[in-house]
Amino acid sequence: MNKEKKIEKILIVRFGAIGDVVHSTALFRSLKKYNKTFKLFYLTFKTPSFLLQNDPDLDKVLVTEGKSYKILLKLAQDLKKESFDLCINLQPSIKTKIFALIIGAKYNLTYKKTFKLHAVENFWRTAVQFFNDLSLDEELKLYIPDEIKDTFEEAVVKRTPAEWALRWVWNHPEVSVVLSGMSTMEDVKENIRISSDAQSNSLSKKELIVIDHAKKVFNDKLEIGCTGCGYCLPCPQGVDIPENFAKYNDYHLFGTPETKERFKFGYEMGLLNGERASACTECGECEERCTQEIQIMKELKKVKKLYET
């Protein structure tokens, strides 16, 4: 029996830090190149999910607010309806193994951590045991809004996003040590090259203007100026106001009309019915406590219109 012919929907699970998720991008790009018809879902924490929301190789990005048994049980029960063919568990813990079983995928693969191999190759090997001729796509790349990419491409000096980021950090005189994750020898060589001449206050005024412009583009795409401080909580009705605003901003930062359903799915998976914008009764208590003076009731109506109508 050829298992591969039966695979259509794949769920990849990886929590952890941003670097862990970046290292796993080579795996799902390899899978997409192997079979473009694969439907790839990725489950992770909120912060690293921002790096994946705009990724064309993923069909849906799912977010969990934690990995307690209670949270994962509820999420697994919801995801069971998706009828996954394969779950690739890159988070080798008892909790996630139980989580993968409850989801009820036809097949489960679990990552076995070893320090003998880099995470990029090790994640790939997890899938190779199922797809024998799966080749490794060693390119680690993330997708950012086009407007921000255009800003850097218009700069006189051409640099990779990583180089812009490293040089910006080194430009601060109060920074004495910079730690940068590396996956390949090319990464090592690039970092050595950058560090050899990146000094404090070494960025020109024009270069700083480019960075400030990219920052402005990013901030302008934030529809709601919520900092997530949580002073508006608790809501008497149970509405998770900061999370509603975060998911609304996610769509305007990374989404398009074509990817709206993906973001709507993430909204429904990340918030219970009583936590969603539609549960607001406009009592006004939250607005009295908001330090940003956000018109919360008005903004929640926008969230409801986007995700619940």
Can you give the three-state secondary structure of the chain, one letter per residue? CCHHHHCCEEEEECCCCHHHHHHHHHHHHHHHHHCCCCEEEEEEEHHHHCCCCCCCCCCEEEEECCCCHHHHHHHHHHHHHHCCCEEEECCCCHHHHHHHHHHCCCEEEECCCCCCCCHHHHHHHHHHCCCCCCCCCCCCCCCCCHHHHHHHHCCCCCCCHHHHHHHHHHCCCCCCCCCCCCCCHHHHHHHHHHHHHCCCCCCCHHHHHHHHHHHHHHHHCCCCCCCCCCCCCCCCCCCCHHHHHHHHHHHHHHCCHHHHHHHHHHHHHHCCHHHCHHHCCCCCHHHHHCCCCCCHHHHHHHHHHHHCC
pLDDT in tens, 289-309: 999 999 999 999 999 999 998
* pLDDT for res 219: 81
pLDDT at 180: 79
More confident of the two residues 19 and 109: 109
What are 240-250's pLDDT values in tens digits? 999 899 889 88
- Crossing angle of helices 146-153 and 205-220, rounded to 10°: 170
Please determine, for residue 29, whether its predicted confidence score (pLDDT) is greater than 80: yes
> Using one digit for the tens of pLDDT, what is the confidence trace for 106-160?
999 988 876 666 777 778 888 888 887 888 766 666 667 777 888 888 888 888 8
Residues 6+ apart with CB under 8 A from 140: 22, 23, 25, 26, 120, 183
> What pLDDT is recorded for position 1?
36
pLDDT of residue 141: 65
Give 34's Cβ-side CA count (13 Å radius). 24
Count the Cβ atoms, other than its own, within 10 Å of residue 301. Answer: 15
- The predicted pLDDT at position 224 comes to 92
Is the pLDDT higher at 57 or at 92?
57
Judge contact between 240 and 228, C-beta under 8 A: no
| pTM metric for this prediction | 0.60
Evaluate if residue 168 carries a pLDDT over 70: yes
Summary mean pLDDT of the chain:
86
Ranking 134-138, 162-166, 226-230, 262-266 by mean pLDDT, the lowest is: 134-138
Query: What is the pLDDT at residue 138?
Result: 60
Give the model's confidence band at 2: pLDDT under 50 very low, under 70 low, under 90 confident, else very high: very low
Strand 60-64, strand 9-13: pairing:
unpaired
Instruction: Give the domains, in start order, of the chain with CATH numbers.
Output: 3-128 (3.40.50.2000), 146-219 (no CATH), 241-307 (no CATH)
Share of the chain above pLDDT 70, in %: 94
Place of tokens 């063919």: 85
Question: Percent of the chain scored above 90 by pLDDT?
Answer: 32
55 vs 275, residue with greater confidence: 275
